[in-house]
């Protein structure tokens, strides 16, 4: 996990949210990480993170069995076209039966596949390179979306 975190931190304009116990964030988020393209250091108002790392089950998301010791899951927004290429099925299909608890395997996200998210539980030697490539692309895509939004803003002036 540390290697992936360092990779993400090297991208330009990344805002990392890492809620800790006692912070203003809800307890369910404590220990997890959320990565945004936000060069101004502010969480974008209408944008989801481009990647997350979760360390526990959520009420509607327990198929990866993250409550067991030393388990975590990298989640990456890749979009619907890349999802279909990577996973071999449409993100909106019911798809085949997946073992969402399998480790070091690229999988559809157990909850957000329809939105073009993939995941890897405990990324390791088999998935490290693809994870880094997908993270770079997800960051690039998030930056492109932010630049398009900025250019369409009514008060946008080139060079700002």
Instruction: Give the pLDDT band (50/70/90) at residue 154.
Output: low
For residues 89 and 138, is the Cβ–Cβ distance under 8 A?
Answer: no
Say yes or no to pLDDT of 158 above 70.
no
pLDDT tens readout for residues 31-54: 999 999 999 999 998 889 999 999
pLDDT attached to residue 150: 82
pLDDT tens readout for residues 75-84: 999 999 999 9
Joined together, the tokens standing for residue 43 give: 């969480």
Q: What is the percent of the chain where pLDDT is above 90? A: 86
pLDDT attached to residue 156: 52
Is the pTM above the cut of 0.85?
yes
For 16-60, the DSSP string reads: EE---TTSSS-GGGTT-EEEEE-TTSS--TT---SEEEE-S-BTT
For residues 74 and 120, is the Cβ–Cβ distance under 8 A?
Answer: yes
């Amino acid at each position: 996990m540390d290697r992936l975190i360092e990779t993400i931190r090297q991208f330009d304009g990344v805002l990392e949210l890492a809620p800790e116990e006692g912070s203003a964030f809800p307890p369910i988020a404590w220990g997890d990480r959320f990565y945004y393209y936000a060069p101004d250091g502010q969480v974008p108002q209408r944008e989801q993170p481009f990647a997350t790392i979760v360390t526990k089950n959520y009420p509607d998301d327990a198929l990866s069995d993250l409550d067991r010791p030393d388990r975590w899951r990298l989640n990456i927004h890749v979009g619907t076209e890349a999802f279909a290429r990577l996973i071999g099925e449409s993100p909106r299909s019911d798809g085949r039966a997946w073992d969402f608890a399998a480790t070091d395997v690229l999988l559809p996200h157990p909850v957000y596949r329809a939105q073009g998210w993939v995941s890897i539980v405990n990324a390791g030697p088999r998935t490290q390179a693809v994870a880094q490539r997908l993270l770079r692309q997800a960051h690039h895509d998030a930056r492109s979306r932010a630049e398009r939004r900025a250019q369409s803003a009514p008060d946008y002036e080139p060079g700002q």
